[in-house]
Amino acid sequence: MPAVTLIASFPDFKRAIAQQKLTVVDWYAVWCGPCKAIAPRYDALAAKYPAAAFYKINVDDLPDVARQCSVSSMPTFHLYKASKLLATVVGANPSELERKIQQHIAPAAFEGTGRVLGSAPKSPTSPGSPTSPTVSSPTASTAASAGPATASAPTATAPAASGTSTSQSTLVWIAFLFLVVYWWMGQKNRVGSLDEYAGL
């Protein structure tokens, strides 16, 4: 199929613009100077954008079709997709024509039965993300609550242990002193008994 196809009948025109891909139609006349000037550029665009379909219609061959499509100046370029007119460029303006082609051909490049771009499934780690704080939060809370309790335990028991040790030491000293006094009294009584015995 050539890069640019000539449409010679109304049924051909209806079939051409009914395509799902972008269809560009060049309405021209053989006596039109600007039409002849832009023709090479139009052929170049057809070769540059193979994803689109490019056609030419001679308005003198199909005047009723041109009139039905409101074509009154040449050249006129119509961009169709699925029988819907998307854009119109009037005059030999190749840069504007290419801009319109780029604007409307881009969505077609991503059409198909596959997954739409940007709709990739979520990462396997995504479902776990919301639960991570749920799991770690109680742990952190437990650790935070356990920390002060653990730290305060020695503080609470330290004075009790110190007081017990002090009272035990005091009792030991009192008992020791009592024993010393008791021993001393026993010795004194013993010496007195010996003196009495010696006096006899």
Token couple for 124: 């396997």
Closest CA to 78 of 36, 17, 4: 17
Residue with the bigger pLDDT between 188 and 16: it is: 16
Worst-scoring range by mean pLDDT, 12-16, 72-76, 169-173? 169-173
The residue among 36 and 187 whose pLDDT is bigger is 36
For residue 138, give the H/E element and its range: helix 128-199
Residues near 151 by beta carbon (within 8 Å), at least 6 away in sequence: none
pTM for the whole structure: 0.54
Please give the pLDDT value at position 189. 64
pLDDT at residue 51, rounded to an integer: 94
**What's residue 57's pLDDT?**
97
Side by side, the strands of the sheet bearing 53-58 are 4-6, 53-58, 23-28, 76-81, 84-90
Query: Is 50 a residue whose pLDDT tops 60?
Result: yes
Main-chain phi, psi angles of 21, to 5 degrees: -85, 170
Active site residues: 32, 35
Reading phi first (left if > 0) and then psi (alpha if -120 to 50, else beta), residue 107 is in: alpha
Query: What is the CA 90 to chain-centroid distance, rounded?
Result: 44
**Mean pLDDT on 76-91:** 97
Q: What is the dihedral of CA 94, 97, 98, 104, to 10 degrees?
A: 180
Using the predicted structure, report yes or no on whether residue 159 has a pLDDT greater than 80: no
CA distance 51 to 107: 11
- Taking the C-alpha atoms of residue 197 and residue 191, their distance in angstroms, rounded to an integer, is 10
What is the residue-averaged pLDDT of the chain?
75
